[in-house]
A and B are shown apart, each in its own frame.
Chain A
Amino acid sequence: MGTSAHTALDARALRAEFPILAAPRPGGGQLHYLDSAATSQKPQRVLDAMDAYYREANANVHRGVYELAAEATERFEAGRDAVARLVNHPREATVLTKNATEAINLVAWAWGARELSDGDEVLVTMMEHHSNTVPWQLVAQMTGAVVRFCPVTPEGEIDMDAMRAMIGPRTRMVAVVHVSNTLGTINPVREIVAMAHEAGALTLVDATQSVPHMPVDAAAIGSDFLAFTGHKMCGPTGIGVLAATPERLRAMEPFLGGGEMISDVTTEGSTWNDIPWKFEAGTPPIAESVGLGEAVRFLEELGPDRIRAHERHLAQQMLDALDEVPGVTVFGPRQVERRGAAVSFSLDGVHPHDIGQFLDSKGVCVRAGHHCTKPLMRHLGVQSTARASAYLYTTEDDILALQSALAECRQWFGVA
């Protein structure tokens, strides 16, 4: 099928822009990288932008009076501009962090640890990544707040009736994942945000698995906080984003203290820099911001809506391909309108670790384990799953390779 009419995104041609995907495998054949939900591959232009920054413009940002420092600052801040534009959010309320986990921890500590008290409730869902449960549990330990888990339906969607019932007068924060990294479910975050706000609670949306894969409009979602990471959207590791409402950021005390985040420091105390820098202590991820900015331009040129269309098509192909392998059980929604292209599955008689190992010998990279969603795994009654996840450079060939390797895997382990 290749460049199908549905997509207008030529994934096969795009692969040439990604050095890891373009290179032949040591054993011959191409790499079938189906682990983009863990991290995406990086296009050459992102590597080039970071390399050029170090070669041409490396200096520390914000403080230098010389030309080179101004150039470094400009390239660093341009990364912020790009990522803020991508999600339709004001630049001054777009905080650059280490990753999405740190962005959520920032909220948990700078807001939660100060504002939560005994008996207050933080509502998360059973399908959250550990990064959106453990920070709240840590803060709850300290404040006496309670972390509650909204159940997930057998179809792998948030139980909205339960959500409605669980949001109450003690609910201070509703923190929910936009797209599940394990089930692929696209959650109705606008509806959830509206429900939470009506009850007077704040909201955080973990957009780690949505921003790379579809149009995400922070203003339209309307949450108080939106967190995501750079390395899953063709950018480098070491940089994440917290898009928050400017008023909320201004009202909050800092998270980490140090250089850059202050306005004045005396022996009696300190005052804080303006947002967003108030939340960016120390030398920031400068080259990473440059790389992320280039990644954003790459995604904008392709078009987030076209990326989504391509992945919806791939999700259907993946579901169909997996259905044809005997003994495979797929978790998460069946309708591609309600899911992304990360698909978890099990294979009767073969443990996910063994699936992952066998598939690797065929050049197919999938993830096996609990995907940092252990409460969800217990909820589903499984210890682990295998997960194949697609991105803009994934082709039908990759999915066919997965399918035939799974069929061989059954034979190898004697379950065929």
Chain B
Amino acid sequence: MGGLDDLYQQLILDHYRSRRGRGRIEGASASVHENNPVCGDECFLDILVEDGRIADIRADGDGCSISQAAASMLTEVARGKDLDEALDLVEHFRLMMHGDAEPDEDLLGDAVALEGVARYPVRVKCALLSWLALRDCIAEYRETTAMGGR
């Protein structure tokens, strides 16, 4: 079962069973709701921005082990980053998922364990769901603050 071991690394199953950063943020700076049309999985992502940094990030919703582990790993690695750093992080992860970047463990933290997902095209969407939600969340935050909002 080499293939499966490769996909479902222990770290992924650990994050799946004990999710980090799960839930919602009351008074979040920005929130987005994304869903995967292929399987119906949903992701709610909230960020709290203070002094240009992600002071808190939480992901909620249901999904498969890959999508839930990816969200858990994201909240760990994105917390404390400034917004541009966070966008770079998302972009690096996206490239890795499409097989276009060698994974940088210092940057990705536990999320490096998701590298094997790139070989399962239907599962790439699962891994990307929460990460791309962060990208949209930051865009939404910037839009609302530019308009003099929150």
Listed in ascending order, the chain A residues whose CB lies under 8 Å from chain B are: 350-354, 357-358, 361, 368-370, 374, 377, 383-384, 412-414
Interchain CB contact under 8 A, A414 and B41: no
Q: With both chains docked as a complex, state the minimum distance between the C-beta of A257 and any C-beta of chain B, in angstroms.
A: 32
Counting CB contacts under 8 A, is B123 at the interface? yes
Would you call B39 and A414 a contact (CB within 8 A)? no
Chain B: number of interface residues, binned into ranges: 20 to 34
Q: What separation, in Å, do the CA atoms of A374 and B36 have in the docked complex?
A: 12
Residues in B whose Cβ lies below 8 Å from that of A354: 64-66
CA–CA, A357 and B4, complex, Å: 8
B27: interface (CB < 8 Å) = no
When chains A and B are docked, how far (Å) is the Cα of A374 from the Cα of B35? Answer: 12
- Where the two chains meet, the residues of B that have a C-beta atom closer than 8 Å to any C-beta of A are 1, 3-4, 7-8, 13, 16-17, 38-42, 62-66, 68, 120, 123, 126
Q: How far is the CB of A205 from chain B (nearest CB, A)?
A: 26
- Do the beta carbons of B40 and A413 come within 8 Å of each other? no
User: B39: which A residues are within 8 A, CB to CB?
Assistant: 352-353, 368-370, 383-384
Closest A residue, CB atoms, query B35: A383
Q: Chain A residues near B66: list those with CB within 8 A.
A: 353-354
Closest to B1 in A: A361
User: Can you list 22 A-B contacts with CB-CB less than 8 angstroms, sorted by A residue number?
Assistant: A351-B64, A352-B39, A352-B64, A353-B63, A354-B65, A357-B4, A357-B120, A358-B4, A361-B1, A361-B3, A361-B4, A369-B39, A369-B40, A370-B39, A374-B40, A383-B40, A383-B42, A383-B62, A384-B40, A412-B4, A413-B13, A414-B13
Q: Which residue of chain B lies nearest to A374 when distances are taken between CB atoms in the complex?
A: B40
> Which of A361, A369, A374, A413 sits near B65, CB closer than 8 Å?
A413
On whether A353 and B64 interact (CB within 8 A), knowing A384-B39, A414-B13, the answer reads yes
Contact partners of A358 in chain B: CB under 8 A: 4
Q: Which residue of A lies closest to B126 (CB)?
A: A353
Contact A351-B65, Cβ < 8 Å, known A357-B7, A414-B13: yes
CB proximity of B26 to chain A, nearest CB, Å: 25
Partner of B8, one of A368, A383, A384, A412: A412
In the assembly, what is the distance between CA of A354 and CA of B7, in Å? 11
Shortest beta-carbon distance from A369 to chain B in Å: 5
**A413→B7 CA distance, assembly (Å):** 13
A406-B82 Cα distance, complex, nearest whole Å? 44
- Shortest C-beta distance, A327 to chain B (Å), equals 15
Rounded to whole angstroms, the CA-CA distance of A377 and B42 in the bound complex is 13
Question: Across the interface, do A357 and B40 meet the contact criterion of CB distance under 8 Å?
Answer: no
B120 near A370 with CB under 8 A, answer: no
For B4, B39, B120, B123, the residue with the greatest tally of chain A CB atoms inside 10 Å of its CB is: B39
Could you tell me the distance in whole angstroms from the C-beta of B5 to the nearest C-beta in chain A?
10
Top 3 A-B pairs, shortest CB-CB distance: A353-B64, A351-B64, A370-B40
**In angstroms, how far is the closest chain A Cβ from the Cβ of B4?**
5
Contact of B17 among A357, A368, A369, A414 (CB under 8 A): A414
The reply to whether B42 and A357 form a contact with Cβ atoms under 8 Å apart is no
Cα A368 to Cα B7 with chains together (Å) = 18
Q: Which residues of A contact B123 (CB under 8 A)?
A: 353, 357
Given pairs A370-B40, A413-B16, 16 additional interface contacts (CB within 8 A): A351-B62, A351-B65, A352-B39, A353-B64, A353-B66, A353-B123, A354-B65, A357-B123, A358-B4, A369-B39, A383-B39, A383-B63, A384-B39, A412-B4, A413-B13, A413-B65
> How far is B40's CA from A156's CA once the two chains are assembled, in angstroms?
20
Residues of B within 8 A of A374 (CB): 40
A383 in contact with B41 given A354-B64, A413-B13, A414-B17 (CB within 8 Å): yes
Question: Does B62 lie within 8 Å of A369, measured CB to CB?
Answer: no
> What's the minimum C-beta distance from B16 to chain A, rounded to whole angstroms?
8
A101 CB to closest chain B CB (Å) equals 17
> Are A377 and B40 interface neighbours, CB within 8 A?
yes
Q: Report yes or no: B40 in contact with A351, Cβ–Cβ below 8 A.
A: no
The listed residue with most B CB atoms (<10 A of its CB), out of A350, A352, A357, is A357
Chain B residue at minimal CB-CB distance from A408: B1
Task: Kindly list chain A residues whose C-beta atoms are within 8 Å of the C-beta of B42.
Answer: 383
A225 to chain B, nearest CB (A): 28
Residues of A within 8 A of B1 (CB): 361
Provide the bound-state CA to CA distance between A87 and B17, in Å. 51
CA distance A92 to B120 in the complex (A): 47
Contacts of A369 in B (CB 8 A): 38-40
Inter-chain CA distance A414–B38, complex, in Å, is 26
Measured between beta carbons, the chain B residues less than 8 angstroms from A412 are 4, 8
Contacts of B62 in A (CB 8 A): 351, 383
* Shortest Cβ distance from A349 into B: residue: B17
Q: Please give, as numbers and ranges, the residues of chain A lying within 8 Å of B65 by CB-CB distance.
A: 350-351, 353-354, 413
